[in-house]
Amino acid sequence: MNSLKSKAANGVIWSGIDKSSTMLIQFVFGIILARLLLPEDFGLVGMITIFITISQAIVESGFSRALIQKKDANQIDYSTTFFFNFLISIVVYAILYFTAPFIANFYNEPILIDLVKVVGLNVIISSAAIVHRTILIKQINFKTQAIVNITAGLTGVAVGISCALSGLGVWSLVLQYLSRNFMTSLLFWVMNSWKPSFVFSIQALKQLFDFGSKILATTLLYAAFQNIYLVVIGKIYKSEELGYYTRATLFKQIPATLVTTIIQNVSFPILVDVIDDNEQVKKVMRRSVKLTAFLLFPMIISLIVFAHPLVLILLTEKWLPTVILLQILTIGVIFFPINAINTNLLNARGRSDLFLKLEIINNTITILTLAATYQFGMTIIAIGYVCVSCIGFFTYAYYTGKYIGYSGIKQIIDMLPYIFASVLSVVISYFVWSYIDNRGVFLGGGVVTSVIGYIICSYLFKFKEYEDIKNSIQSKLRKS
């Protein structure tokens, strides 16, 4: 038991290192390439994202989750999955290859023919390492995964930047993507001793597919609707405008992704342990919502208020239209970590059926909202995204209110003190530094002052989360 706990704790640490490092690499690399390339280059890649994402989901077919769920998975299961995934990857790539002209005609961008054919190779490349990655996950071996992902990420960065400096334009993004995934698959083969046997079992395939097909359906649904904005914007507007949207999306996702990762790693196992005690569940949910608000809102408000100098400094003036999109979309991302907490409750209660139902409802609302806003310009589309996020929050929170009496309104009331403290500290900081002409000094000074102001507000308002974090840091310093 102690060995399992030790492996789990070590896994959480290395998983955190993996995710944070990968995110940092992608962020820094994205900034460098955004300065070297044009918005339309990113827009062209954004146009084909949905096709590659769906293709990868089909190739994986939910078998990875099925192998993890199957406690007695053996060499026959692994080998059958490997060969099935590889065979399907060839079929899917063939479909991409021959439909590339139709995709290009849909967007009226002839260059997409070659882009789809080359980027589509990643479907085959990635399929070769699905089982290797799955085995490491079953072993709770996140250290090897972190080493592989970080090394491959840095390799992709080196290739992408070299290509961009050589004037290859959009192909810099394509070659970066392929080199990163090729290195990922290669390293998984090198660092994982597992090798497939030349066996194939129809019975094993059927057992795995019975479970994996449900995962596949949910994954395909999620992938399609998560990328629907890219399809519509790419079809109706110019590729450069889609480029502005993809950059704004990258920036606004960072705080939400960081906070969601932290909270989910902590809250879900605790919810599972206390799920039969509604009072304890409610306490865990309230603590999770408050901690999320405490961590998230200062970042969100800062990103909105300082978006203009941030974009100009990091991306240069050619990306200026990204500012208004970033400010609006960031408002919508506020609910993303809170929704994750609410869905944690459903999953802890074993109600994945309700989760799928809510996904269908919210995706339908997304389609209707996009259909009503797409013709009025990018700003209105972004506002529609915020409206969808708000509605989605209340639909996810409905069952939380039903099960434990912690409704969406009550969750918002719990978040209000943190919203007030964040707005107060960031807005005051903005006006204090607004008289400085130098953008770098204005941004740096504004952010530092905002952090100091938020810490002061946390102390004055006696936020429990602030006290817990402070005490934890002091405890670790004393031990060291």
Query: Tell me: the pLDDT tens digits for 76-118?
Result: 888 988 898 899 899 999 999 999 999 999 999 999 999 999 9
* Mean pLDDT across 71-79: 83
293-337 residue pLDDT tens: 898 899 999 999 999 999 999 888 999 999 999 999 999 888 888
320's tokens: 């200026």
The pLDDT of residue 113: 95
143-195 residue pLDDT tens: 888 888 899 999 999 999 999 999 999 999 999 999 999 999 999 999 888 88
Give Dmax over CA atoms of the chain in angstroms: 71
Of 253, 244, 217, the residue nearest 65 (C-alpha): 217
DSSP character string of 300-341: HHHHHHTHHHHHHHHH-GGGTTHHHHHHHHHHHTTHHHHHHH
| CA 204 – CA 190 distance, rounded (Å) | 26
What is the reported pTM?
0.80
User: Where is average pLDDT lowest: 81-95, 248-262, 362-376, 395-409?
Assistant: 248-262
Confidence of residue 250 (pLDDT cuts 50, 70, 90): confident
Which of the two residues, 373 and 21, has the higher pLDDT score?
373
Confidence of residue 1 (pLDDT cuts 50, 70, 90): very low
Q: What are phi and psi of 81, to 5 degrees?
A: -60, -45
The pLDDT of residue 283: 84
Tell whether the torsion through CA atoms of 273, 208, 364 and 109 is positive or negative: positive
Confidence of residue 424 (pLDDT cuts 50, 70, 90): very high
The pLDDT of residue 96: 94
Residue for token pair 């978040």: 415
* Mean pLDDT across 358-385: 90
Q: Is the pLDDT of residue 368 over 90?
A: yes
